[in-house]
Amino acid sequence: MRNDNEPRHVMPWRIEDIDLTRIDRQRAAANEDLMLLLAASSFIESGSDLYTSNLNVFFNGDPEVSEWLNREWEPEELQHGRALKTYIQYVWPEFDWDAAFQTFIEEYSTTCSFEEFEKTRALEMVARCVVETGTATLYRAIGECSDEPVLKEITANIRSDEVRHYKHFFRYFKKYNQIEGHGRLAVLGALMRRVIEIRNEDSEIALRHVYAGRYPDRVRDEAYSRELTARVNKLVRHNLSADMCVKMLLKPLNLPAKIRPGVHYPLAKITQHVFFR
């Protein structure tokens, strides 16, 4: 829904400007679990446009939000998908990304519906903050567990986009909550609903389609794919910055400074286990 007369958004970074020939192929391919995770993330990011159209309908009549979603958010999210795809194709030339993505998107598109949305705009903004917190945390963890410089550079770029997205959604949350006036309990409810939801469906579907493309002969071996999923999640959990994650999650609750340290540690532990069990 872009208006072609508007000036184009200048992307903060471009995958085309990164010299992929610097990728240490062997070093990257040696970490199979990380590559599986990257492939799954590239699928979810590349499916971001499914959400934009739903979000556009949900925020219809608010040009500030719709314009930002269309001009900045969606192109940046799609570039995350493209950047990771490019990286994967360089390291795994034998992996048919397009074919695996096709089967993924057929299943994934049936899960993106209005039922997933919160009941009000302010609370949906809280849910969006949780999603951006999850991705910022994930890319930080990926950057930390990788020793391949090009991947570190790409994930650092993606992470700073996700943090900026979070800041936008947080600002929109405050704008709508001035009208809707939700208390902490309602905000906490939206936070928890999304934290629980973020863990399961999306990454599970994506990983399943990555495995099917990567190990077609083990496609029906459920025990094997459970084992792979557990390994991939463990990898993230070990490198997760629960601290950053919890700080971002707590912000919409606007807790008084004196009780913040008290809830920080238990929440960090819970988050670590709920996000990447």
Half-sphere exposure of 10 (CA within 13 A, CB side): 0
| Greatest CA separation for the chain | 56
To the nearest whole angstrom, how small is the minimum distance from the Cβ of residue 20 to Fe ion? Answer: 19
What letter does residue 8 receive in the DSSP assignment? P
Q: Output 138 or 210, the one with its CB closest to Fe ion.
A: 138
Given CA atoms 149, 155, 161, 163 in this order, what sign does their dihedral have? Answer: negative
Element (H, E) at 260: helix 260-275
Out of 121, 165, 182, 194, name the contact with Fe ion by CB under 5 A: 165
Out of 72, 118, 148, 162, name the contact with Fe ion by CB under 5 A: 162
Q: Output 103 or 160, the one with its CB closest to Fe ion.
A: 160
3-class SS of residue 221:
coil
Residue 77 binding Fe ion, by CB under 5 A: yes
* Count, residues near Fe ion per rule CB under 5 A: 7
Q: Output 142 or 191, the one with its CB closest to Fe ion.
A: 142
Residue 159 binding Fe ion, by CB under 5 A: no
| d(C-alpha 60, C-alpha 50), whole Å | 16
Q: Output 162 or 202, the one with its CB closest to Fe ion.
A: 162
Residue 74 binding Fe ion, by CB under 5 A: no
Q: Output 142 or 186, the one with its CB closest to Fe ion.
A: 142
Q: Is 259 exposed, middle or buried (0-12, 13-18, 19+ CB in 10 A)?
A: exposed
Out of 28, 31, 36, 80, name the contact with Fe ion by CB under 5 A: 80
**Residues within window 13-42 making contact with Fe ion, judged by CB under 5 A:** none
Orientation angle between helical segments 74-91 and 32-46, nearest 10 degrees: 150
Binding site for Fe ion (CB under 5 A): 45, 77, 80, 132, 135, 162, 165
